Amino acid sequence: METFKLNNDVEIPKMGIGTFQMEPNAAEKAVVEALKDGYRLIDTANGYMNERAVGRGIKESGIKREDIFISSKLWPTVYEDENAIDDTLNRLGIDYIDLLFLHQPAGNWEAGYKQIEKAYKEGKVKAIGISNFHDEKLRKLFEIAEIKPQVMQVEAHPYFPEAELREFLKPYGTRIMAWYPLGHGDASLINEPIFTELAKKYNKSNVQIILRWHIQEGDIVIPGSTNPAHIKSNADIFDFSLSDEDMTEIAKINKNKRYYIPSDSLEESYANMKMDFNSQK
């Protein structure tokens, strides 16, 4: 698996498997399959309620802990809980996490970020991430952060390539990790004629062309799947490259179209969404 170098020189795999909306048993099996197929990045979150299952999948794989890059996210209700990071580590069954995000720009996110910075200095966290930040909260975070984030996880795909955000992040060396990398599975996006044409040209699938586009845009990409064939196929994108002309043609389908519309009111509701993370199966 190829890697990107983050702004603190930590190496992160270019592709991983996401476990959003996976029930624990499905997440455990998906992690085992992905690691068998050469994935080395696994993404989860407190709020996915499958961290324990992800940890079991990692152990079951038989692959050394230090060879796997694990990312998770703190939920807003635990930003002020001084045990939140240790609890996350315990659920995953590990003693450090490679990348830890603030999941939402909600609640006392300033306190949450300081918690992660403290854990980073203590060696419990190897890289710091933020997820879904935008507008004034995004600018404020970069102003107050002692350690600028290494990764920002956001919705990104060819219909919404996050061009403005990329320009904002460039001076800090913060890299995008794309969720909804396939446009929430939108058939209109996946079946755009440019992808069908390039799939024939490179003897790949439309999905593989889109995932390759992400890699060449500089994105870390985390498609989620519980289907073993899809998990294997998604990772088969490192034996070809799209040309500059191909990338230019793909850029023309940008529709500035999101599938998730962020708002302050929605985000603040997450700060009151209590979940018992330690009850995970």
CB 60 within 8 A of CB 48: no
d(CA 49, CA 53): 9
> What sign does the dihedral 173-162-45-38 (CA atoms) show?
negative
d(CA 91, CA 247): 41
Rounded to 5°, the CA angle 68-10-241 comes to 80
Q: Which of 39, 48, 120, 202 is catalytic?
A: 48
**48 is known as an active-site residue:** yes
CB 145 within 8 A of CB 116: no
Q: Residue holding tokens 């500059």? A: 244
Q: Which two tokens stand for residue 113?
A: 């970020």
Q: Please return the burial class of 101, using the count of CB atoms within 10 Å of its CB with bins 0-12, 13-18 and 19+.
A: buried
Q: Which sequence positions are flagged as catalytic?
A: 48
